[in-house]
Structure 1
Amino acid sequence: MRRSTFFALAFALTPLAASAEPPPPSPAPAQASTPSAVRAPAPASALATEGFTFLGEEKGIRIHSRDKRSGVEFATEARLPAPPDQVRRALLDYASHQKWQEGLEENKILAREADSMLVYQRLDLPIIDDRDFTLKITWGAEGQILWMRFGVANERGPKPVSGVVRVTSHGGGWRLEPEGDKGTRAVYRFHFDPAGSVPSWLGKDQAKDKLVDFFVRLKRELPKYR
């Protein structure tokens, strides 16, 4: 198995489905099912007031966590060297994600519309059983701020597979705000409950390194989407 952890992929770029648990911290109502009803995730300035704790900064990437629910919950701030529309194109290119994301055993786009898509993913994990889920991703804009949100929509994806644990709680979002002429202030927030039995060291203890690595990989991909 690849040496990856479940939160290394939990960034999975997807928006909130009508049936999904609201992603952390969600300013939109859980029943929202249309883009017009969904709002961009709150800005980074709101993290402390929402109970997030600052873990540290590395390579310009600031990582926060919150102990409020089972599983892991993180918020990450970073400046990306590309405008918001370019960053979002990279995040929405699910067809290419296996080329640069660790641990993606399967990655299938099931359906796509103008402002949403369904994606099935299976994670190849060390030590523990593989995990899988179907996500509904949505995206939109509020003025110059672009956003993405994601949440579990397993009822719209493949049936459970023997030997693979089905994840039922996974949601989050991206807030992409212009910074300068060619930069983006990105805030990425997510909650991921791997379900089943998971050693504690596979979760929060490795979060900082894995999230930093994800942003480093994302930055390397951005020039392809100019």
Structure 2
Amino acid sequence: MRRWTFFAILFALAPVAASAEPPPPAPAGAPSQGRAPAPASALASEGFTLVTEEKGVRVHRREKRAGVEFALEASLPAPPEQVRRALLDYANHQKWQEHLKENKILARNADSLLVYQRLDLPVIDDRDYTLNVTWGAEGPILWMRFVAANERGPKPVDGVVRVNAHQGGWRLEPEGAKGTRAVYRFHLDVAGSVPSWLGKDQAKDNIVDFIVRLKKEVPNYR
């Protein structure tokens, strides 16, 4: 059986997993993150280095701050609108990840979600965080972003390690007649004590696997 790293678990869950239960409205004037992540052509100038290219996925890493920071680029077999529908189908994304212990939408707007998640993970202590997830468009380019917003979520829980540094986003750009060129990037500091085998090298392998599974999902969202 394939073993998930903690980084890959959070990578898969952060922008997508949420409850299907309708949440209350978000407070008026809640802040919004308002633009698409930079294109893949900007990664090298921003200090990212290509670390692997396999199964049609290019994975880049930047060693600039505490934690891990990855970016990837891949072609997906559907237009941006369809890919984003797949990413926003929160209830079905739960089947991708069995370690989700708690999952609550705290607030929802037309273009944002406030999501609390707690992960029950093997070997290490549970982790939790609240994310502010937003999405929008810049012409034909669709985007999604998320950032830790723990001050807007539940208070810390005894025995659970809070993840405070967690942010990233998707850039979904039309490619050809019916495809998408996706760029995904994220920074994560897992905090707490983490065994050495939950490392960066294995994390990049699981990132590739996540994109392979996403490619299989998007045809279901025509």
- Of 101-110 and 146-155, deviating more is 101-110
- Is contact 1:123–1:131 with CA below 8 Å preserved after alignment? yes
Match of 1:8 in 2: 8
Note closer, same or farther for the CA distance 1:125–1:3 as it changes in structure 2 (3 Å cut).
farther
Q: Matches of 2:97 and 2:140 in 1, distance apart?
A: 28
8 Å Cα contact 1:73/1:191 also seen in 2: yes
Q: Partners in 1 of 2:58 and 2:99 — Cα distance?
A: 23
Q: TM-score, normalised by structure 1?
A: 0.85
Q: TM-score, normalised by structure 2?
A: 0.87
Residue 211 in structure 1 maps to residue 213 in structure 2: no
* Change in 2 beyond 3 A, CA 1:130/1:104: same
The structural deviation recorded for 1:197 is 1.7
Aligned to 1:62: 58
Deviation, structure 1 residue 105: 2.6
Paired letter, 1:134: T
Structure 2 residue 194 is the aligned partner of structure 1 residue 198: yes
Query: Is 1:34 matched with 2:32?
Result: yes
Segment of structure 1 superposing worse, 138-147 or 207-216: 207-216
The answer to whether the 8 Å contact 1:129/1:165 transfers is: yes
How far 1:224 moved relative to its partner? Answer: 2.2
Q: Which of the residues 100, 103, 128 maps onto 2:99?
A: 103
Aligned partner of 2:80 in structure 1 is 84
Alpha-carbon distance change, 59 to 52 in structure 1, aligned in 2, over 3 angstroms: same
**Alpha-carbon deviation of 1:162?**
1.8
Which piece of structure 1 moves more, 136-145 or 204-213?
204-213
Alignment coverage as a number of residue pairs: 206
- Post-superposition shift, 1:102? 4.9
Contact kept in structure 1, 2:129 and 2:163, CA below 8 Å: yes
- Secondary structure, aligned partner of 2:132: strand
One-letter amino acid of the structure 2 residue matched with residue 216 of structure 1:
V
Partner of 2:170: 174
Deviations 1:152-194 (A, max 9, x none): 1112222222211011110000000000111100000000100
Q: Work out the CA distance in 2 between the residues paired with 1:209 and 1:114.
A: 34
Letter in 2 for 1:4: W
**Maintained 8 Å contact 1:4/1:103:** no
Unaligned runs of 5+ in 2: 17-29
CA contact (8 A) 1:4 1:102 kept: no
Q: Which residue of 1 aligns with 2:44?
A: 48
**Paired position in structure 2 for 1:114:** 110
C-alpha displacement of 1:223: 2.1
Letter in 1 for 2:9: L
> Unaligned regions of 5+ residues in structure 1, if any?
15-31
CA-CA distance at 1:86 after TM superposition: 0.8
**SS of the residue aligned with 1:10?**
helix
- Counterpart Cα distance in 2 of 1:216 and 1:86: 16
Q: Supply the AA of the counterpart residue of 1:135.
A: L
